[in-house]
Amino acid sequence: MLIPSERHTKDDLRLWQEQAEADSVHAMDSGFLRRCQSVKEAIQQFHRRPKPYYVATSWGKDSVCLLHFFRALKYPCKVVHVRQLDNENPHDVDVRDDFLRRFDCDYEEIAYSYKDSDESWFRDGKPVRWFQVLRDLAKRYGIHVSGVRADESSTRLLRFKTYGLETRHSFAPFHRFTCADVFAYLALFDLPVHPNYAMQGGGRFERQWVRTSAIGNERGRGMSRGAWEQEYYGDVLARMQVFAGAGFTTEFKRV
C-alpha cells in the first residue's frame, strides 16, 4: 500500500499503478516464492542459536519486509530506528505510524541532531559519532539484523561472498532477495510503502535507485540522486542549515 504524498504527480501515480500490477504478478512467481522460503529458513536457523539481537529499520522497503518476516514467524525482537532529525525524510514517520498501527513491536527510536553537540562527534569535519551509536546498540542489544541485499551494490555483494549471512556483529538474511522481490513482497502482504518509491519523475528516475535515507547527504549521490532530491525535496534542501563545527546530541526514547 503506497503511502500518499502531495509530492506525487499524476504521472508518478500512473506509473506506480502499472508497477504495482507487475509486482502482484511477480509475487506469484515460483522463483520469488522459493527465495521467500530461503529467507524464512535463514531466519529460523539464526533464531535456533540463541543470542541477543535487534532488527534495524529505516522504514524503507527492505526493512519493512524484514520486520514482517520476523512478525510472521512470531519471533519477539527489539526493533530500533535511528533518526537523524536535522535532515530525515519527512515521510519516514508516515510509514512507521502505519506499520505500528497494524503490528505490535517492541519498538525504540534513537533520535539525534547535529545541533548543540560537542566536538567529539566530529573528526576532520566529518560526523563520526554515528559509529558510536552503532557500538552502543551492539552493547545494549547484540547482533544487528539488517535488510541489506547482495544486488544493491558491489560492496554488499562482496560482503556476502566474504562473510555469508552472519558475522559476529550482523545478520542479513536477504542475500538472494532482489529489488523486484522486495516490491512483490510488499504487494503480496499489502505492507506500507514509502512514498519516495513512486517519485520517479514519470519514469526518469528508476525506483530501484530511489532511497528513503536522510536528505542532502554527500554520500550515495550517484544514480541521479542529487537531481531527484532537488526535484522532489527542493523545499527541504532550501530549509536545511549548513552544519558547522560542533553539533550533535542524542536522545533515547521509547515509542
pLDDT at 255: 41
How far apart, in whole angstroms, are the C-alpha atoms of residue 76 and residue 211? Answer: 28
How far apart, in whole angstroms, are the C-alpha atoms of residue 219 and residue 210? Answer: 14
- Grid cell 563545527 is found at 245
Residue 159: give the domain boundaries: 10-254
pLDDT at 116: 60
In a domain, 20, yes or no: yes
Phi, psi at 221, each rounded to 5°: -100, 10
pLDDT at 179: 95
Order of strands, sheet of 53-56, starting from the edge strand that comes earlier in the sequence: 170-171, 143-145, 53-56, 78-84, 106-113, 249-254
Closest to 98 measured CA to CA, from 151, 57, 53, 152:
57
In a domain, 3, yes or no: no
Helices vs. strands in the chain: H and E counts, helices first: 8, 8
In a domain, 204, yes or no: yes
pLDDT at 85: 82
pLDDT at 119: 66
Number of structural domains the chain divides into = 1
pLDDT at 70: 95
pLDDT at 87: 80
pLDDT at 135: 85
Averaged in consecutive runs of 10 residues, what is the pLDDT profile of the chain (255 residues)? Answer: 96 97 97 97 92 94 96 92 86 96 93 70 64 86 92 81 87 94 97 97 92 75 80 85 41 41
Phi, psi at 42, each rounded to 5°: -65, -40
pLDDT at 194: 98
Q: How far is CA 200 from CA 139, 145, 216, 244, in A?
A: 40, 29, 18, 33
Distance from chain centroid for Cα 6: 22
pLDDT at 84: 81
Q: How far is CA 117 from CA 112, 226, 241, in A?
A: 10, 27, 15
In a domain, 119, yes or no: yes
In a domain, 2, yes or no: no
In a domain, 83, yes or no: yes
In a domain, 1, yes or no: no
Which residues, at least 6 apart from 91, have a Cβ–Cβ distance to it below 8 Å? 3, 5, 194, 195, 196, 212
Q: What is the DSSP string of 94-163?
A: HHHHHHHHHS--EEEEEEEESTT--GGGEETTEE-THHHHHHHHHHHH-EEE----GGG-HHHHHHHHHH
How far apart, in whole angstroms, are the C-alpha atoms of residue 21 and residue 175? Answer: 25
* CATH number for the domain that contains residue 19: 3.40.50.620
In a domain, 16, yes or no: yes
Q: Are 200 and 228 in contact (CB under 8 A)?
A: no
